[in-house]
A = this chain, B = another copy of it.
Amino acid sequence: MPKLAYLGPEGTFTEEALRLLDPTAERLPCANVSAALNAARAGEADGAVVPLENSIEGAITTTLDEFAWGEPLLITAELLLPVQFSLLARPGTEIPHIKRVYTHPAAITQCRGYIARELPDAVVVSAPSTAAAAQEVSLPGSPYDAAIAARIAGEHYGLTELAGGIGDRSDTVTRFVKVARPGGPLPEPTGSDRTTLVVFLADDHPGALLEMLTEFSVRGVNLTRIESRPTGDGIGRYFFHFDFEGHIGDARVGEAIAGLHRICGEVRFLGSYPRADGRQPQIKRGTSDAEFAEAGEWLARVRAGRVQ
């Protein structure tokens, strides 16, 4: 039974994601994304589950930066989890009593409409996670009257759900990934895979991004996400996260990644893994594995001087 670290405490959306990704795993809650990933790196856990992006908030930059700068980890699975927020309080609390609300900044953003409408006079304070907010609110003597968090967090910490589904949108989704220490074999290609890379530029010349995208497009590899992140070396210096269709074992994907490796300063491979949405890529003419293999054999014959 594997042990998986995750962004805790118990009751976070990440725990929910972990249970869905690996129902039988032992769970190790950690204080934050970095701690969860470090637990996996250090061998205290066999892997970790962390959020990568949210359909409202965008990228979880801590996760992106950990993947780029920390000791290497490989993504082995992803999950898309609908996110539903609840207003949670100690039993006996009623909405008109709520003066101080505690929750994660992402939840503040995503429940902005509800807060303005139903809690116009409340002070809203940032918490490190929604579950941490619930935990804090559950303590007797907490300065906070309510938390915004997942319903599961309320159950966990003995809070009452005063209102459910309070997000401004009902279709908010968070994408979680499961990671492991590198070293073992990669997940097998399934025909519906995604690959994630971090790419640092060799030198930041005009057109560098266009060149990188051309390495993908010339081989028929479709991008599904691009994120720029600062390198830390001053405004105007960025590196990139790319998600794209296909598996590094696919010929077209391998050649594209090798192409990036040649022209870029550094390429860090973050994994090839089954897509959560099960979508199949459209393979452009001339870019299937069979066509790559045939072209390679043809080239070998021609180089050997044999009739074509």
Stretch binding the partner chain, chosen from A18-26, A37-45, A284-292 = A284-292
Is the Cβ of A210 less than 8 Å from the Cβ of B213?
Answer: yes
Q: Which residues of B contact A192 (CB under 8 A)?
A: none
Q: Is the interface of A mostly helix, strand, loop or mixed?
A: mixed
Q: Which of B209, B235, B277, B295 meets A173, CB within 8 Å?
A: B235
Q: Which residues of B contact A97 (CB under 8 A)?
A: none
Q: Kindly report which residue of chain B lies nearest to residue A181, judged by CB atoms.
A: B307
Does A183 make an interface contact (CB < 8 A)?
A: yes
Is the Cβ of B303 less than 8 Å from the Cβ of A235?
Answer: no
- Quote the shortest CB–CB distance from A279 to chain B (angstroms): 9
Does A225 make an interface contact (CB < 8 A)?
A: yes
Size of the chain A interface, CB-CB below 8 angstroms? 88
Stretch binding the partner chain, chosen from A6-14, A50-58, A84-92 = A50-58
Q: Kindly report which residue of chain B lies nearest to residue A227, judged by CB atoms.
A: B228
Does A305 make an interface contact (CB < 8 A)?
A: yes
- Quote the shortest CB–CB distance from A156 to chain B (angstroms): 21
Please, how many angstroms separate the alpha-carbon atoms of A232 and B219 in the complex? Answer: 30
Known: A232-B56, A258-B296, A286-B262. A305 touches B126 (CB 8 A): no
Is the Cβ of A229 less than 8 Å from the Cβ of B58?
Answer: yes
Is the Cβ of B230 less than 8 Å from the Cβ of A53?
Answer: yes
Residue positions of A touching B, CB distance < 8 A: 53-58, 61-62, 72, 74, 80, 105, 109, 125-128, 143, 169, 171-173, 175, 182-186, 202, 206-207, 209-211, 213-215, 217-219, 222-230, 232-238, 248-249, 254-255, 257-259, 261-264, 268-269, 277, 282, 285-287, 291-292, 294-296, 298-299, 302-308
